[in-house]
Structure 1
Amino acid sequence: MVWIVFSWFLFNALLPDCKGNKGDNLIFLPFQVLIIAHVTAGMVNLTRHEKEKYFLTATGEKELFPSLHDPHSRELSVVIPAYNEELRMPVMLDEAMEYLENRQKQHPSFTYEVIVVDDGSKDKTTEVAMRYSRKYGAEKFRVLTLVRNRGKGGAVRMGTMSSRGRVILMADADGATKFADIDKVEAGINDLNPKPENMAISCGSRAHLEQESVAQRSMFRTFLMYGFHFLVWFFCVRGIKDTQCGFKLFTREAALKTFSSLHVERWAFDVELLYIAQCFKIPIAEVAVNWTEIEGSKLVPFWSWLQMGRDLVFIRLRYFTGAWSLQSSNKTD
């Protein structure tokens, strides 16, 4: 619907009037875009369906998810958004659980939880994830199944708001980033020395791999990539070379501060999160991580980049016009 309205305004702006002049229309185009961004702005919605308030234990009993507003009771929470990931997810989960279990054996005081958020999948993503919950127990592994598809950002937010960790890692279900690289993003958090408010974010980054990826991409995809980077820099986030890597570590306090204000639920949500963080002056580290492209990406190169480009413009304009505002915290229903 947003695109229909936007296209109509754009068409009218570019269409010559009865005198054959379209310059006058172009003058008003920025104002039209500004109005569209403001009028179509949706407010942050943290309301849960009744079924999304509970997780299943190994015995099939329902227990209430905790809240990010509560004090932490685990050292680490790992939030994994998953949409139709029954085939790719097991490889990632096997690697993650092996790392976490070994770390706990070496350091018995280390506690963790993994939360897989099934984002309204049409396949057996929940069933696959529940096998791990039964194997490791619901204290270590929980599954949050969303009633409807919210988008990756919405799924990460719902999982984060249900977590118990002192620090919270966002990790993709495809396993493109080696899970052991959590050591690197943890070092990034520690280097920031997030005292006294304990606010810090450490972002995994693929920027060091960019030249290699350019050599393997078509000229068109390279153009889209650099165009997206420019829009991110121009409208939203500066100083971060790779905003889109799905491997980010938050202190609990930083997660609450940023996710409480998050509005974008699709691909550009990472950019809004970092934009919010920079508005709150939360320290951000960018750390190089190992990354391998995994087949089966849900990202459709042209249309997804176009949608993200639109979202970047609208993020800036909606905060600028006051349609969206930064909030200290929001409690889930």
Structure 2
Amino acid sequence: MLPILFGICIFVLVLVYMAITKTTSKYAQIERFPNEYFYSDPLTNKKEKLPSLFDPPTKSLSVIVPAYNEEARLPVMLKECLEYLEMRTKSDNAFSFEILIVDDGSSDNTTKVSLQYSLKYGCDKIRVLTLVKNRGKGGAVRLGVLSSRGRNILFADADGATCFPDIEKLESSLKSFQDSLQNGKCESIIICGSRAHLEQEAIATRSFLRNLLMHGFHALVWFFAVRTVRDTQCGFKLFTRKAAQETFPSIHIERWAFDVELLFLAEKMNIPIGEVAVKWTEIEGSKVVPVLSWIQMGRDLFLIWLRYTIGAWAPKKK
């Protein structure tokens, strides 16, 4: 028992050392390679400048799709997404959308596959941002959001695990918040898709180790960071543009735990957060490595809490 406790103490001390000595900036630094300010137009073969999150919105909805080596799964997700969005534009002339696919430094043909959709539907509807190197899901989502044009912004996983029409549930919850807060004048709101209602079913089908890791992660999230959302990791979240402007420039974590930092910041800023059950199906090909990814997320959770607590990190000043 003593060697285990000693090992835990050493691990915590190492994390504290990392938190204090390896923080280069109190405020998040958004570093982009020159090519990451542009998207490719496959029709003209020209590079066009991406807009900024801080520009006035020109679309009703932006859909951000982070994609790392997703040439096989991405077409399935885009088929459902585009069928729904195209149908919606036909039934509502006031509705407009864009899909921004962020290739997170893939080694396969993710960009090539994505550009085929951009060529078919046009760059006004589908744009492809190819990152120079792999940043992690959080880094890809952040750069996509910072280049979006939507009044509301959704990020959705490329695996298509979430039923895309369930966005209407998130929008309904968003409207309920707007109607109940300050007579509809609350501009900053976040609505999270949730798989918490499926937890008992997951427990019945997963291994003891995966269930242990899941419960341990939930406990760490509640203890160190977020207490208003049961499922912080579902890749289906809707933001008002104002909420995105207030949170995304402040994110430091670029990998799996970025959702937790995002919601942690939202709680600190008193941004209203809703959670809505969505249909979800486990899709083969997950990039999460059960043990290593959970250890990395656990480490990041502790660092999020510690660095904000000691003031090493802070939300960007407006």
User: What is residue 31 of structure 2 aligned with on the other side?
Assistant: 47
User: What is residue 250 of structure 1 aligned with on the other side?
Assistant: 239
The Cα RMSD (Å) is: 1.8
Q: Structure 1 pair 161/218, CA: closer, same or farther in 2 (3 Å)?
A: same
Is 1:106 matched up with 2:106? no
**Would you say the 8 A contact 2:154–2:238 is kept in 1?**
yes
Query: 1:60 deviation in Å?
Result: 1.6
SS at match of 1:250: strand
Question: How far, CA to CA, are the matches of 1:93 and 1:220 in structure 2?
Answer: 33
* One of 150, 154, 176 as aligned partner of 1:191: 176
Is 1:14 matched up with 2:6? yes
Is 1:267 matched up with 2:256? yes
User: What is residue 111 of structure 2 aligned with on the other side?
Assistant: 126
Query: 1:191 deviation in Å?
Result: 1.3
Question: How far, CA to CA, are the matches of 2:280 and 2:11 in structure 1?
Answer: 41
SS at match of 1:47: coil
Moved over 6 A (4+): none
**Would you say the 8 A contact 2:251–2:258 is kept in 1?**
yes
Calculate percent identity across the aligned residue pairs.
56
User: What is residue 20 of structure 1 aligned with on the other side?
Assistant: none
**Would you say the 8 A contact 1:207–1:241 is kept in 2?**
yes
Pairing of 1:134-145 with structure 2 (within 5 A): 134-145=119-130
Is 1:324 matched up with 2:299? no
Give the letter for the 2:249 counterpart: S
Pairing of 1:1-333 with structure 2 (within 5 A): 14=6, 33-43=15-25, 44-57=28-41, 58-193=43-178, 195-329=184-318
Q: Structure 1 pair 306/29, CA: closer, same or farther in 2 (3 Å)?
A: closer
Structure 1 residues without counterparts, runs of 5 or longer? 1-10, 16-24
TM-score by length of 2: 0.93
Question: How far, CA to CA, are the matches of 2:114 and 2:165 in structure 1?
Answer: 20
Range 186-195 or range 196-205, more displaced: 186-195
Query: 1:47 deviation in Å?
Result: 2.4
Question: How far, CA to CA, are the matches of 1:179 and 1:42 in structure 2?
Answer: 39
**Count of residues in correspondence between the two structures:** 309
TM-score by length of 1: 0.89
**Would you say the 8 A contact 1:199–1:254 is kept in 2?**
yes
SS at match of 1:202: strand
SS at match of 1:278: helix
Which of 1 and 2 has greater Rg? 1
User: What is residue 18 of structure 1 aligned with on the other side?
Assistant: none
SS at match of 1:290: coil
Question: How far, CA to CA, are the matches of 2:62 and 2:155 in structure 1?
Answer: 9
